[in-house]
């Protein structure tokens, strides 16, 4: 059974509240590439909208690729060079591109932070990481307190880190109970984590200044990889689409970066 691309986009936009993030996100969320009249029966999912995943979507005969990181960050000045090389295969092969960046980070059930919270077994969850009127993360309390080493081991065993170790800025308490999560590049919310009184901030990648900020504040920071912390949202969307009554065929492409 096929569905029109417009129906798929509308259903995803409604679930993700795409319009609510329109003025907050540099990403052009929603449908970035594709004709309105496209009929869809195969949907592919991946973290990044790049040449590698575009090629795999074409090989899989997918009608639409759903990603977290898309092509348009504030629009295109020119469709040349790498931008042209990425766009051309999609257009030539009638593959649509749907993108959800911050809306997928902030979704409290399907989002990336929610997925990391699931891995850590956190309870008493609440939105975390304010961005205007919205949130881009989640916080919660561990059922049993972690040591820094055990939390690091848990992340390394459950996340697609590409074989890389999870970096730990070990400046917090010996018992980690309350954890804040902002996936990807989330160290800008370190002060929020400190103000919230959590023991640790889990994110993907750091900035140089975070070392001394965490040390001075007495909080742990776990850097588990930008890619590794952001596989959960697109996988959750795949499960969501599979549960629709449209009987769409889905596939997921794992292309870890180790970063």
Known binding residue 61? Answer is: no
Is residue 69 marked as binding?
Answer: yes
Whether residue 160 is annotated as binding a ligand: the answer is no
Ligand-binding site membership of 212 (annotated): no
| Best CA proximity match to 233, nearest among 48, 33, 71, 97 | 48
Q: HSE, CB side, 13 Å, CA atoms: give it for residue 79.
A: 7
Contact between residue 226 and residue 259 where contact means Cβ atoms under 8 Å apart: yes
First and final CA of the chain: distance in angstroms?
A: 38
Do 162 and 228 contact (CB within 8 A), yes or no? Answer: yes
Tokens of 40: 């869809």
144 to 111, 147, 202, 245: CA distances (angstroms): 23, 10, 17, 39
Is residue 55 within 8 Å of residue 74, measured between CB atoms?
A: no
Burial of 211 (0-12, 13-18, 19+ CB in 10 A): middle
Nearest to 129 by CA among 94, 207, 181, 173: 181
* 20 appears as a binding residue in the annotation: no
What residues form the annotated binding site for a divalent metal cation?
A: 68-69, 105, 226, 230
What residues form the annotated binding site?
A: 68-69, 105, 226, 230
């Amino acid at each position: 059974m096929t569905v029109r691309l417009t129906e798929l986009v509308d259903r995803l936009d409604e679930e993700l509240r795409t319009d609510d993030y329109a003025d907050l996100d540099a990403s052009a969320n929603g449908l970035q590439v594709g004709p309105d009249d496209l009929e869809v029966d195969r949907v592919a999912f991946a973290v990044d909208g790049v040449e590698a995943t575009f090629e795999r979507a074409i090989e899989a005969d997918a009608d639409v690729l759903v990603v977290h990181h898309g092509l348009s960050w504030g629009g295109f000045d020119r469709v040349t060079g790498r931008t042209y090389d990425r766009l051309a295969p999609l257009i030539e092969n009638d593959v649509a591109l749907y993108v959800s960046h911050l809306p997928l980070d902030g979704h409290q059930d399907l989002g990336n932070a929610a997925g990391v919270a699931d891995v850590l077994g956190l309870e008493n969850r609440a939105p975390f990481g304010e961005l205007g009127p919205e949130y881009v993360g989640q916080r919660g309390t561990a059922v049993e307190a972690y040591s820094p080493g055990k939390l690091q081991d848990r992340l390394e065993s459950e996340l697609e880190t590409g074989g890389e170790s999870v970096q730990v800025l070990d400046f917090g308490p010996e018992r980690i109970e309350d954890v804040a999560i902002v996936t990807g590049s989330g160290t800008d919310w370190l002060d929020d984590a400190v103000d919230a009184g959590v023991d640790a901030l889990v994110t993907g990648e750091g900035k140089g200044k975070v070392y001394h900020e965490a040390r001075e504040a007495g909080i742990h920071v776990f850097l588990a990889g930008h890619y590794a912390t952001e596989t959960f949202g697109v996988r959750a969307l795949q499960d969501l689409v599979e549960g629709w009554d449209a009987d769409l065929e889905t596939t997921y492409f794992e292309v870890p970066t180790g970063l």
